[in-house]
Structure 1
Amino acid sequence: MAVQPVVYGEGERPPRGNYARANDDYTCAQDWSAYTAQDHDTYRRLYERQTAQLPGLACNAFIESLPHLGAKERIPRFEDVNEPLYKATRWEIVAVPGLIPEEAFFALLAGRKFPVTDWIRKPEEFEYIVEPDVFHDLYGHVPMLFNPQLADYVQRYGEGGLKAARLGACEMLSRLYWYTIEFGLIREAGALRAYGAGILSSAGELPYSVNSPEPQRRPLDLLRTMRTRYKIDSYQQTYFVIDSFQQLFDMTEGDFTPLYAQMRGMPEFAANATGD
């Protein structure tokens, strides 16, 4: 059976990506030769703009690992990134045509395979794109997978996701992913720094998340985080902060089943809600 496109949230435009070329697990070959000179130039401009902002805003682990992506003037070949990545943390990246179902996503993470969308945004989408593209997935996520503690956390998240799917708790767990792997902040030497991919790949949200007085920043707490809704079409109004990647890993050790049962009897929080 052919795999089908996936839609999250509401939108009028159908999902982008050629799902006809995907395998049963939603992975596909990266068709590197199909990238145009314009595609490579878009990647180069995005890479240069984002990298110029990193000092004082991005965490040290990201800055130190970014060179492993290789040459910045073109979209990397995934196999070239996989060689140093596998040596560092036993992870690898796999191409996917676009957004994939939750269980397929969890299964890949549990197997230390990170799905990377292989198409890139159009020049007119340079400032903003709704769906993740190769720049967001590769530039935002992959450098952090070189960090052993964060890499182990992402695998643990995938394993937990498979269990959450059986328990009907994916929505709760997805909020933890959103507020850590996508939009997490860490405190380094007393200063806030970004480690979440959604921040690190965004020219606007990177300085906003660290320096703006507008959003609230709270210590990461599992119950509070997994009860907090989020928005996908604006800067975050709440960020959750960790003190170390080891803290993040340790916090997610153990069985979440009792937490899910507890949260089902508790109210949720709006994205901008204050208080506990």
Structure 2
Amino acid sequence: MAVEPVVYGASDRPPRGDYSRAGADYTCAQDYDAYTPADHDTYRRLYERQSALLPGLAADEFIRMLPSLGAVDRIPRFDEVNERLYKATKWELVGVPGLIPEVPFFTLLANRKFPVTDWIRKPEEFDYIVEPDIFHDLFGHVPLLFNPVFADYVQRYGAGGLKADSLDACELLSRLYWYTIEFGLIRQPEGLRAYGAGILSSSGELRYSVTSPEPKRVPLSLERVMRSRYKIDTFQSTYFVIDSFEQLFEMTAPDFTPVYERVKQLEEIPA
């Protein structure tokens, strides 16, 4: 069954990835033999550069869990990561050809399956890539899925996304994902640290988000984050700060229906 490629917003860029390989749920097998020596070298160099930047900028729990990915000198095999991940939190990685629609994405998360793009950027995209690739998804997202509290938050987010779809509130909920799972900051005893995958996989935004005097850093609240638009092609102007992963999990416990109703009556906050 063919599935349609997905692109960001109004982008006229051709979709990356081979969607003909995907099933109805948008997942596909990791074609490990298709990776070239150059692909493995790109992953190795990205991992080497990014891991060296983490001390003093990344959340302690992320740094502690990063070795759980396994291989650092080549692209990891999903099945090898899954052996460790399932034992830790009952999550597993599934391959996808690229971006996928909201409902299949939410469905996978609700079932503790994390979609990982199976292709890697080209050498000329080493410093910046618009779409998430395997390095962003593996390095940025997967280490914290070994943390039981954060892993439960991501599952609860997925279940909430399926409900949001029925309430015409996916855009509001997507902002929570963006400002927590992708671009979240956490306050530790030593100071601010990054835990969002979009920050952790970016050499430039990692230091900027934590140390620059330019962006606003706001305590996370549901209504504020759902009103806030975001940027996909530049560093963020605003970051939301949590005190613990337990705070994230507890925040997603209530029914969001009345929150959506209130937020829809309020003005959006520009990115």
Distance 1:150 1:223 in 2: 21
Distance 1:79 1:60 in 2: 26
| Amino acid across the alignment from 1:248 | L
Per-residue deviation at 1:71?
1.6
Aligned positions of 1:174-189 closer than 5 A: 174-189=174-189
Distance 1:92 1:43 in 2: 21
Look up the SS of the partner of 1:204 in the other structure.
helix
| Amino acid across the alignment from 1:150 | F
Of 154-163 and 254-263, deviating more is: 254-263
| Amino acid across the alignment from 1:207 | R
Deviations 1:216-275 (A, max 9, x none): 00000000001000010000000000000001110111210111111111111011xxxx
The unaligned stretches of length 5 or more in structure 2 are none
Match for residue 259 of structure 2?
259
Match for residue 206 of structure 2?
206
Match for residue 114 of structure 2?
114
Distance 1:147 1:204 in 2: 26
| Amino acid across the alignment from 2:262 | Q
| Amino acid across the alignment from 1:206 | L
Distance 1:212 1:82 in 2: 36
Distance 2:260 2:6 in 1: 25
Per-residue deviation at 1:12?
2.1
Per-residue deviation at 1:53?
0.4
Matched, 1:243 2:243: yes
Aligned positions of 1:80-99 closer than 5 A: 80-99=80-99
Look up the SS of the partner of 1:109 in the other structure.
helix
Matched, 1:19 2:19: yes
Match for residue 152 of structure 2?
152
Distance 2:130 2:102 in 1: 18
Distance 2:226 2:264 in 1: 11
Match for residue 274 of structure 1?
none
Distance 2:257 2:216 in 1: 29
Distance 1:113 1:12 in 2: 30
Distance 1:65 1:127 in 2: 24
Distance 1:28 1:147 in 2: 26
Per-residue deviation at 1:7?
1.7
Distance 1:141 1:222 in 2: 22
TM-score, L = length of structure 2: 0.99
Distance 2:190 2:221 in 1: 19
Distance 2:7 2:92 in 1: 25
Of 3-12 and 176-185, deviating more is: 3-12
Per-residue deviation at 1:10?
2.4
Deviations 1:91-130 (A, max 9, x none): 0000000000000000000000000000000000001000
Distance 1:157 1:25 in 2: 18
List structure 1 runs of 4+ shifted beyond 3 angstroms: none
Deviations 1:52-97 (A, max 9, x none): 0000000011101111111211000000000111111110000000
Match for residue 47 of structure 1?
47
Distance 1:82 1:71 in 2: 13
Match for residue 195 of structure 2?
195
Matched, 1:163 2:168: no
For these two proteins, the number of residue pairs brought into alignment is: 271
Distance 1:128 1:265 in 2: 37
TM-score, L = length of structure 1: 0.97
| Amino acid across the alignment from 1:122 | K
Distance 1:10 1:125 in 2: 21
Distance 1:270 1:69 in 2: 37
Deviations 1:21-43 (A, max 9, x none): 10110000000010000000000
Per-residue deviation at 1:190?
4.5
Match for residue 220 of structure 1?
220
Deviations 1:180-206 (A, max 9, x none): 000000001140000000000000000
